[in-house]
Amino acid sequence: MIYQQLPPHPALAPYVKEYLLLHFDFTGLATIPTKLMPARPEHSLIFYPDEVFTKVHAERHQQFVIPHAVVQGQPLTHWQHHYPRRFKVVKVVFQLGGLYHLLGGLPLAELTDATLEAEAVLGSEISTLTQHLMNTAQYAEMINVVDTYLVQRFRRRAVRLEPIDKVSQLLQAPNQSFSLDYLAQQACLSYRQFERKFRDRTGVSPKLFARLVRFNKAQALKEKHPAHDWLTVALACGYADYQHLAKDFKQFAGVTPVTFLREEARAPEYVLHLR
């Protein structure tokens, strides 16, 4: 079993942030743990080469069985993931704008908060790639297969990066915070132009994306420093007070910060002692 974040091929660094490789086996457990998945500031291409899983939104009475390969636009909704006995994931987490360029500059508004079958978005190559992953037992080989596909795909696209592609990544810098006006200036754009190009690349406004980044930073800081109280976390991440932090948790995770911690403690990677 494994829970690991891995770097992409160096040629993919402008477009791919990292790979997330998961392999869970719940055979020895009486009950299979579920996982609360909050909204995250990311776009991804995800392969499930073993058994598929189901995601549930209880409040909306929604339930979906996820295909073996999907493209995930900017998530805005929280879901509860219900796993099979054996579960494997190879997830490509793109740099901001990476998926936009992979799709040939297609604006991502229609992908916002959507999980689409990858073959419908990227073509029949995905079916062959998914089958290859299903027949591959070695973790390193799985990453190599995805690396090869993406390097070839981006080369065919002949992508031309713009200043906004590099500047926008500053939004996710772990220990720094920049105003949106500053980022627009660094991208050599008026704010209106910056917002339009940013929406093309992400499907959401810079302001909403920045909120998701701040919410994600708060989770990461609390995980790294569990002794910090939530007010300390809130202020360190740029919130005015605890109430604003709690509001984001309610919107993006569906629960309070305290409940979210309890949910995380019961997540599969912790139950299986992989983190």
Second CATH level (architecture) for the domain 210-275: Orthogonal Bundle (1.10)
Residue 39, amino acid: A
CA 72 – CA 201 distance, rounded (Å): 13
Residue 25 token pair: 């086996």
Q: Tens digits of per-residue pLDDT, 254-274? A: 999 999 999 999 999 999 999
Report strand pairing: 16-25 vs 54-57. Answer: unpaired
Residue with tokens 């007070």: 241
Q: Tens digits of per-residue pLDDT, 231-247? A: 999 999 999 999 999 99
pLDDT confidence of residue 119: 97
Residue 175: how many CB atoms within 10 A of its CB? 5
CATH 2.60.120.10 residue ranges of the chain are 2-159
Residue 108 token pair: 């991502």
DSSP 179-209: -HHHHHHHTTS-HHHHHHHHHHHHSS-HHHH
Three-state DSSP class for residue 9: coil
Residues 97-122 as b/e (b if ≥16 CB within 10 A, e otherwise) read: bbbbbbbeeeebeebbebbeebbebb
Total residues found in the chain within this entry: 275
Residue 80 token pair: 């509860």
Q: Which of 156-160, 171-175, 206-210, 212-216 has the lowest mean pLDDT?
A: 171-175
**What backbone torsions phi and psi does residue 273 show, to the nearest 5 degrees?**
60, 40
User: What's the average model confidence in pLDDT over 218-238?
Assistant: 95
Contact 35, 267 (CB under 8 A): yes
CATH 1.10.10 residue ranges of the chain are 210-275
DSSP assignment letter at 13:
T
pTM over 0.85: yes
Close Cβ partners of 58 (under 8 Å, ≥ 6 residues apart): 80
Q: Where are the beta strands (DSSP E) in the chain?
A: 2-6, 16-25, 35-37, 44-47, 54-57, 62-65, 69-72, 79-82, 86-94, 115-117
What share of the chain in percent tops pLDDT 90? 91
- C-alpha R_g of the chain: 19
CATH class for the domain made up of 2-159: mainly beta
**Strand partners of residue 6:** 19
Query: Phi-psi region for residue 202, left (φ > 0), alpha (ψ -120 to 50) or beta?
Result: alpha
Q: Tens digits of per-residue pLDDT, 32-54? A: 999 999 999 999 999 999 999 99
Q: Which of 68-82, 174-188, 215-229, 249-263 has the lowest mean pLDDT?
A: 174-188
pLDDT confidence of residue 173: 78
Residue with tokens 């790639």: 129
Residue with tokens 């089958």: 131
Q: Give the confidence band of 94 by pLDDT, cuts at 50, 70, 90.
A: very high
Q: Tens digits of per-residue pLDDT, 121-179? A: 999 999 999 999 999 989 999 999 999 999 999 999 888 899 999 887 788 877 778 88
Q: Give the confidence band of 222 by pLDDT, cuts at 50, 70, 90.
A: very high
Three-state DSSP class for residue 165: helix
Residue with tokens 């139950």: 271
